[in-house]
Structure 1
Amino acid sequence: IFVSPKQTIPYLGPIYGGLREGVSIYIQGSVPEDITRFFVNLLCGEAESSDIALHFNPRFDGWDKVVFNSCQNGSWESEEKIRSMPFSKGEAFEMVIVVTSQGYQIRVNGNDFHTFEHRMPVERVRAMQIAGDVSIQTINVIGGGYPGGDMGVNNCFLLFTSPVPYSNMIPGGMFPKRTIIIRGMVPYGADRMSINFMVSRSRDIAFHMNPRVREGMVVRNSMIGGNWGQEERELSLNPFMEGQYFDVSPYNKKKKTGNSCMSIRCGNQRFKVFVNGQHLFDFFHRLQSFNEIDVLEIEGDVQISYIHF
């Protein structure tokens, strides 16, 4: 289930299909320089007065900490205070809430932070509330689903700072109108990386996308029958910069400061690549049977946090 960006704060919205073990909530946002506090609540109903299964509350009050709690029948229960702050003033963040059998596992910017053990059945959770000093760009519920939905657990998965080089099968292969979503970050000191769409049977690389950070270009090519084709280098802009997150996604259409937002979409004749809603380049198919593409490989100087097929 994808909640369209950008979210107005305070935010209160349903979690269609509810939560269960294995479901993850991905939140992308930023906090202002003058932040004092914000919170994320998982509610057992769609009203603010509903019981709260998880209360996640970062506080910048001179004794920086994150408070966890729950609330039942209008009464707050015992607080858990983590005297560590995973957020930085004035900076963007990626946060993931993973529902495990033990509790809610919280990860921020790819790092484990804390697991808040279940105090009430996770099946009761029906909505999410976010308020305070925070700006939210994207909310994704991964592994959920609802009648008629097409973003269920069978066609997506989540990775947390996945090791690079990365290689995995593309479930169902590539076909017209299919879009691959990748989120990650270009670390400081990065030189180059590559994103390859491959055929497992022949090891042909149907589409090789090679951002070269220091050169400020994105090279495109293919390797068929063991031979590299002609490089394509013309480009109006380069979305891959040191220390910045990138978002290979068709859902974030608006440009955001400090983030790159891109979609890779397969068509009958070409791969179409957009950045922040603007066309970056087309790469015409050089492999006749592009529907044989069934492997995604990522190599080089990059940190990967999320992939959706």
Structure 2
Amino acid sequence: MAWSVADSDAAVKLDDGHLNNSLGSPVQADVYSPRLIVPFCGHIKGGMKPGKKVLVMDTVDLNPESSAISLTCGDSEDPPANVATELKAVFTDRQLLRNSGISGERGEEQSAIPYFPFISDQPFRVEILCEHPRFTVFVDGHQLFYFYHCIQTLSAMTP
């Protein structure tokens, strides 16, 4: 599985050891924590599987427009890679849009959230925890929503 971040000075962290997620359950991840050139594309070592999570840490710009995080099955453009999840924060509308896609066909976009967690000029931490058959998304340690991905088997979500 590949992932990308499209925003300002994002720092992304994946950790190889066992960590605790926001609910206290053990998880597994790989660690990469240097400042990244954005947009950033990388690979998840061993692919995504239940118990792994992706952490994205950054600071919201003073006058933000949007920011996006995508988890894909590869980085092909033609044919387009399958998208397990794409999260897009739209600051002007205070929405966090979610979608996925298989073979270039996009699913139905979801936008309902209990609150918009991002504040101008403030740091944030997004955690995407892989469970089967969904991702649980946390922002600053608070569970925000579940997103049921359209990838049929997690084994397909490898680099």
- Structure-2-length-normalised TM-score: 0.74
- Per-residue CA deviation, residues 5-32 of structure 1 (Å, 9 max, x unaligned), is xxxxxxxxxxxxxxxxxxxxxxxxxxxx
- Per-residue CA deviation, residues 59-106 of structure 1 (Å, 9 max, x unaligned), is xxxxxxxxxxxxxxxxxxxxxxxxxxxxxxxxxxxxxxxxxxxxxxxx
What is the CA–CA distance in structure 1 between the aligned matches of 2:140 and 2:54, rounded to whole Å? 16
Residues 157, 279 of structure 1: CA spacing in aligned structure 2 closer, same or farther, 3 A cutoff?
closer
SS, match of residue 291 in structure 1: helix
1:197–1:294: 8 Å Cα contact kept in structure 2? no
Identical columns (%): 27
1:219–1:232: 8 Å Cα contact kept in structure 2? yes
- How far 1:221 sits from its partner (Å)? 0.3
Residues 269, 240 of structure 1: CA spacing in aligned structure 2 closer, same or farther, 3 A cutoff?
same
Alignment of 1:181 with 2:55, yes or no, is yes
- Per-residue CA deviation, residues 156-209 of structure 1 (Å, 9 max, x unaligned), is 12222x121110111111000111112111111210111000011661111011
Residues 158, 278 of structure 1: CA spacing in aligned structure 2 closer, same or farther, 3 A cutoff?
closer
Q: RMSD in angstroms over aligned alpha carbons?
A: 2.6
- How far 1:241 sits from its partner (Å)? 2.4
1:199 corresponds to: 73
1:163 corresponds to: 37
What is the CA–CA distance in structure 2 between the aligned matches of 1:291 and 1:238, rounded to whole Å? 33
SS, match of residue 155 in structure 2: helix
What is the CA–CA distance in structure 1 between the aligned matches of 2:155 and 2:34, rounded to whole Å? 25
1:243 corresponds to: 121
Equivalent position amino acid for 1:264 in 2: I
- Decide which of 140, 151, 157 is 1:287's aligned counterpart: 151
1:55 corresponds to: none
**How many residues are paired up?**
134
Equivalent position amino acid for 1:269 in 2: P
2:101–2:150: 8 Å Cα contact kept in structure 1? no
- Decide which of 176, 179, 190 is 2:64's aligned counterpart: 190
- Per-residue CA deviation, residues 121-156 of structure 1 (Å, 9 max, x unaligned), is xxxxxxxxxxxxxxxxxxxxx99x9xxx657xx931
What is the CA–CA distance in structure 2 between the aligned matches of 1:206 and 1:231, rounded to whole Å? 13
- How far 1:276 sits from its partner (Å)? 4.0
1:89 corresponds to: none
Alignment of 1:273 with 2:137, yes or no, is yes
Structure 1, unpaired ranges of 5+: 1-109, 111-141, 249-262, 296-309
What is the CA–CA distance in structure 2 between the aligned matches of 1:276 and 1:242, rounded to whole Å? 15
Equivalent position amino acid for 2:148 in 1: F
- Which has the greater radius of gyration? 1
The structure whose RCO (Cα within 8 Å, separation 6+) is larger is: 2
1:206–1:290: 8 Å Cα contact kept in structure 2? no
- Structure-1-length-normalised TM-score: 0.40
Equivalent position amino acid for 2:34 in 1: L
